[in-house]
């Protein structure tokens, strides 16, 4: 039975990072408490015989790297704990939950893209993604106005720092997980992603990624209002950059940078569809080159070639329970206009909601 889609709730917070965290925690208290249990229940499928306390002890190790890399975001994490009534360890667990997942078989798939210039209908930059993940998570949209820094609009999971979105300087970021055999005690992806959303331009976004002591491998699709597009692939100790082909770039869950491909575990994962999704999205966008706009991307992001492991992903009930995820967020951003269009699974919920910075 199809469930009625409720638009992702929008919240606005402002002040110092500590104050923003406190407001966030207070306003989203119920969702944050749910997400602590939600993450544990999902991770327990992948990491058996570990209690929530065991997992929190592991993510507690990220506290010092976070403080060193982004003390302002550490203050926000403390504020979230204070406002929500959760312990600091629980909020650190939320920030480091992807890293626990990445230490074991990874079960997250996303397909991201960017286009600009002659590829788009009006010359404006577009970027976004289909974010494939487990169901029943609490997704929130946050309009953040820091006292010292640019305002930004982010779509994220409740209790997490900002993950994907745009800021008032006209730059944006969307993400994909990558599979690499190495992980370290470093800065969680979630913290790096939020730091990227606080930058003044795309070069500074790149610096925020490359200068971090990264805990795991991740991919960052970056773009700006002036048409600049670049994709930054990472491992914990290396980075590689991919540039667009004729103003179009698509990415999924495998390395495109040739000198990082030797670190790629994707051929040993459950995501052989990554290669097909990336090629298919690039092809569909090229087919509509010069016409690309939010409405066209909404149509493209519903594509089912390779179903159920398609760009618009659906749960494969024949597989193990920990692989039963689907497109839970579909997003199209226009950095220049301060707009993000978002919905859940786009074929089941074709009406995208407009969120503005």
Task: Using the structure block, give the residue that is written with the tokens 């950095």.
Answer: 335
The model's pTM is 0.95
The CA distance from 209 to 240, in Å, is 11
* pLDDT at 151 exceeding the cut of 50: yes
pLDDT at 267: 57
Please state which of the ranges 30-34, 172-176, 284-288, 318-322 shows the lowest mean pLDDT. Answer: 318-322
Residue range 269-307, pLDDT digits in tens: 556 789 999 999 999 999 999 999 999 999 999 999 999
Domain with residues 10-302+325-356, CATH architecture: 4-Layer Sandwich (3.60)
Taking the C-alpha atoms of residue 310 and residue 24, their distance in angstroms, rounded to an integer, is: 34
Nearest partner of 195 among 182, 212, 179, 180, judged by Cα = 212
Question: Which pLDDT does position 1 carry in this prediction?
Answer: 38
Give the count of alpha carbons within 13 A of 144, CB side only: 34
pLDDT at 103 over 50: no
Q: Which residues contact 134 (CB under 8 A, 6 or more apart)?
A: 38, 42, 324, 325, 328
What are 198-231's pLDDT values in tens digits? 999 999 999 999 999 999 999 999 999 999 999 9
Is residue 46 a contact partner of residue 101, using CB atoms and an 8 Å limit?
yes
SS3 for 57-125 is HHHHHHHHHHHHHCHHHHHHHHHHHHHHCCCHHHHHHHHCHHHHHHCCCCCCEEEEEEECHHHECCCCC
pLDDT band at 105 (very low <50, low <70, confident <90, very high): very low
Structure tokens at 280: 């298919």
Domain range list for the chain: 10-302+325-356
**Tokens coding 291:** 């016409």
Point out the least confidently predicted range of 68-82, 101-115, 339-353.
101-115
Give the mean pLDDT of the chain.
92
Percent of the chain whose pLDDT exceeds 90: 82
DSSP 293: S
Token readout for 13 is 């917070």
Kindly report which listed range (139-143, 175-179, 301-305, 320-324) carries the lowest average pLDDT score. Answer: 320-324
Tracing tokens 């594509």 back to the chain, one arrives at 303
């Amino acid at each position: 039975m199809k469930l009625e889609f409720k638009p992702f709730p929008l919240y606005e917070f402002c002040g110092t990072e500590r104050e923003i965290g406190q407001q966030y925690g207070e306003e989203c208290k119920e969702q944050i408490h749910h997400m602590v249990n939600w993450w544990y229940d999902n991770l327990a499928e992948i990491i058996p015989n570990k209690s929530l306390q065991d997992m929190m002890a592991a993510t507690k190790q990220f506290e010092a790297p976070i403080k060193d890399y982004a003390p302002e975001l550490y203050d926000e994490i403390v504020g979230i704990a204070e406002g929500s009534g959760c312990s600091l360890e629980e909020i650190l667990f939320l920030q480091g939950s992807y890293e626990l997942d990445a230490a074991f078989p990874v079960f997250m798939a996303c397909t991201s893209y960017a286009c600009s210039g002659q590829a788009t209908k009006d010359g404006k930059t577009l970027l976004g993604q289909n974010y494939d993940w487990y169901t029943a998570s609490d997704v929130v949209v946050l309009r953040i106005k820091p006292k010292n820094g640019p305002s930004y609009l982010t779509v994220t999971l409740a209790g997490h720092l900002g993950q994907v979105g745009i800021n008032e300087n006209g730059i944006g970021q969307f993400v994909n997980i990558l599979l690499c055999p190495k992980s370290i005690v470093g800065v969680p992806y979630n913290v790096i992603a939020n730091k990227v959303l606080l930058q003044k331009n795309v070069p500074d976004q790149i610096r925020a990624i490359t200068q971090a002591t990264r805990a795991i491998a991740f991919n960052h699709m970056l773009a700006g209002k002036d048409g600049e597009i670049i994709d930054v692939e990472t491992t914990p100790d290396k980075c590689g950059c991919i540039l667009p082909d004729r103003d179009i770039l698509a990415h999924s869950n495998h390395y495109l940078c040739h000198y990082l491909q030797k670190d790629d575990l994707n051929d040993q994962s459950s995501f052989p569809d990554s290669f097909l999704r990336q090629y298919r999205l690039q092809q569909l966008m090229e087919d509509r080159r010069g016409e690309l706009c939010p409405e066209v991307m909404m149509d493209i992001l519903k594509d089912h070639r390779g179903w159920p492991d398609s760009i618009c992903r659906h749960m494969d009930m024949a597989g193990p329970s920990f692989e039963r995820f689907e497109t839970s967020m579909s997003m199209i951003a226009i950095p220049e206009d301060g707009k993000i269009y978002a919905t859940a699974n786009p074929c089941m919920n074709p009406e995208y909601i407009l969120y503005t910075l």
